């Protein structure tokens, strides 16, 4: 499944200063769907190169990191339970950097 991941607000610094990543993420089994809950550990393993604690806390993003799925606040789509589909765009923005 193709997804576009975008990191902003300083989070791009944790993944080699690359803001936009086109990635392929597949569900563990054919009939299973990929949710944000599965995507976050995938990002942790495959994209984050340093200071992981700036991105995640427990099994979710660190409080203060905003998440948008197709330009919509993930608080409206169930946060970790948000089901992802082909070509979805997921944006992560840190609010924790500078003023």
Q: Return the residue of 34, 40, 43, 88 that touches other proteins, per CB under 8 A.
A: 88
> 60 near 79, Cβ under 8 Å?
yes
Q: Return the residue of 37, 38, 77, 80 that touches other proteins, per CB under 8 A.
A: 77
Residue 94 in the binding site for other proteins (CB under 8 A): yes
Residue 72 in the binding site for other proteins (CB under 8 A): yes
Q: Which residues ranging from 18 to 57 are in contact with other proteins (CB under 8 A)?
A: 20
Site residue total, other proteins (CB under 8 A) = 36
Other Cβ atoms closer than 10 A to 2: 11
Beta strands in the chain (DSSP E): 2-8, 20-24, 56-57, 60-61, 65-69, 72-73, 89-94
Tell me 70's DSSP state.
Answer: T
The residue assigned the tokens 């799925």 is 69
**What residues line the site for other proteins (CB under 8 A)?**
4, 6, 8-10, 13, 20, 62-64, 66, 68-73, 75-78, 82-83, 85-89, 91, 93-99
């Amino acid at each position: 499944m193709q997804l576009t991941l975008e990191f902003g607000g300083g989070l791009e610094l944790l993944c080699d200063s690359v803001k936009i990543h086109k990635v392929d993420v597949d569900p563990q089994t054919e009939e299973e769907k990929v949710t944000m809950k599965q995507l976050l550990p995938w990002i942790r393993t495959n994209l984050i190169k340093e200071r992981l604690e700036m991105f995640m806390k427990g099994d979710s993003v660190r409080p203060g990191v905003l998440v948008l799925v197709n330009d919509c606040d993930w608080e409206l789509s169930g946060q970790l339970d948000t089901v992802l589909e082909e070509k979805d765009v997921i944006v992560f923005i840190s609010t924790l950097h500078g003023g």
